[in-house]
Chain A
Amino acid sequence: EAQVTQNPRYLITVTGKKLTVTCSQNMNHEYMSWYRQDPGLGLRQIYYSMNVEVTDKGDVPEGYKVSRKEKRNFPLILESPSPNQTSLYFCASSLGAPRYEQYFGPGTRLTVT
């Protein structure tokens, strides 16, 4: 089954404790991206990757890091999480640029206290 998986689905952590949210796709997609969804703000793009070893900032990259060492994986790293990073995070992938249909993961709800 074609899918995007994210882990963990739910995470409660404390300020400053480094964490990684994993994202994996099995569709051999070139493009992957991370978004956060906040009430009243919709979906905002954090980082995206056009291909292996090629990443770039989206609209809200501050406080986040990403890496793309393999085509299928695109982890999101929070080196020192803060309460303003409490949000619902989605990973997505597509064949190419986001004008192609993107497939989204189920989401990771992160709470930073």
Chain B
Amino acid sequence: DQQVKQNSPSLSVQEGRISILNCDYTNSMFDYFLWYKKYPAEGPTFLISISSIKDKNEDGRFTVFLNKSAKHLSLHIVPSQPGDSAVYFCAASAGSGAGSYQLTFGKGTKLSVIP
């Protein structure tokens, strides 16, 4: 049973426009969410995170929105740049107990930013 779902395997966006990557989760114990970016032949790198006590977190061109009632989060990249072309993974962690030491990832969305 997939607890973190990224239903779009790929996304193409024109340079300068907004990229919106979506993520849904089913486990109501998840209370911390992270986005990682991965280039080919490299390990993932941390991008941005959000706690369930917030509904928005911004870092430069990257903003993550969390809708707890819908169990949905999204990553907005504005403006998109060709260097943003990568695979983006959504990940989630539970707040307490053994679950707080586990990290569950989605399958990833491959973003292509077209110059």
Contacts and interface: CB of A to CB of B under 8 A. Distances in A.
Interface of A: 4, 31, 33, 35, 40-45, 48, 50, 56, 58-59, 90, 92, 97-99, 101-107
Interface in B58-94: 89, 91, 93
Interface of B: 6, 32, 34, 36, 41-46, 49, 51, 89, 91, 93, 98, 100-108
B89 A48 contact: no
A104 B102 contact: no
A33 B43 contact: no
A45 B43 contact: no
Given A58-B102, A107-B42, 11 more contacts: A40-B107, A43-B44, A43-B89, A48-B102, A50-B101, A90-B43, A92-B43, A102-B103, A106-B42, A106-B43, A107-B43
Contact of B43 (A41, A58, A99, A105): A105
Contacts of B44: 43, 90, 102, 104
A56 B93 CA distance: 15
A48 B41 CA distance: 23
Contact of B105 (A43, A99, A101): A43
B105 A42 contact: yes
A42 B32 contact: no
A97 B92 CA distance: 12
A92 B91 CA distance: 14
Nearest to A31: B101
B104 A59 contact: yes
A110 to B, nearest CB: 15
Nearest to B99: A97
In the A-B complex, the 9 residue pairs with the smallest Cβ-Cβ separation, listed nearest first, are A104-B43, A42-B107, A98-B103, A43-B105, A101-B46, A99-B32, A42-B105, A97-B100, A104-B44
